[in-house]
Amino acid sequence: MIKGVLFDMDGVLVDSEAFMCKAAIKMFGELGLKVVPADFQPFVGMGENKYLGGVAEHYGVKIDIAKAKSRAYEIFGIIVKGNLAPLPGAHEFISECRKKGLKLALATSADPVKMNVNLKEIGLSAKVFDSIITGQDVVNKKPFPDIYIKAAKSIGLEPQECLVVEDAVSGIKAGKSAGCRCLAVTNSFEASELHEADWVCESLVKVPKNVLNW
């Protein structure tokens, strides 16, 4: 029986990926490296260490990941101001989960600084969630299951009692490996790429009825 819902953030509640990509491209440009959006796609959903570090490794460049993240987040905070909105159905689906008495956790691979910017911009209070787990709380990032195991435990549940809501291939792999059921939203990847999920929908406005009834 479902007792909790574990939400990813980027691509599920808010679409900030394009802005993070722009910020990362500008950051790399300041380091003298020209990169393109496609370079980042393999690392979507894995946290900024891998998102930035993976691209740097691809080009054979060594970077100070802490400084690189700090600068990228600084740029990100500037370019998203007033430009982010909640994805369709995000607020409503959270409300529906609450009405059903389900416990909620936010499980994002992003660092707290990015998470706080996103939540503020889309008008979603952190207090909506019973627990928040970020990329800084786990060593092994998605596609490893650690973040969802930790998120379930943080709200007093077993992973098998939880639904994971994800948009990324790496996130679905993490959720399934943790033992959760998964709802995939096709905001970042095609439905065919998210085939490991138990349910797939176009947006949180079109969630299958049985997703919250098991």
Q: What are the residue numbers of the active site? A: 8, 10
Nearest residue to 174 via CA among 55, 6, 4, 38: 6
Q: Phi-psi region for residue 144, left (φ > 0), alpha (ψ -120 to 50) or beta? A: beta
Nearest residue to 97 via CA among 171, 2, 12: 2
Kindly provide the residue ranges of all beta strands, DSSP E only, lying in 1-82, ordered along the sequence: 4-7
Q: Helix, strand, coil shares of the chain as percentages rounded to 5?
A: 50, 15, 40
Q: Rounded to an integer, what is the distance from CA 15 to the centroid of its chain?
A: 10
Residues 6+ apart with CB under 8 A from 36: 25
Alpha-carbon distance of 170 to 116, in angstroms, equals 22
Taking CA atoms, 45 is separated from 31, 81, 155, 200, in Å, by 24, 22, 22, 17
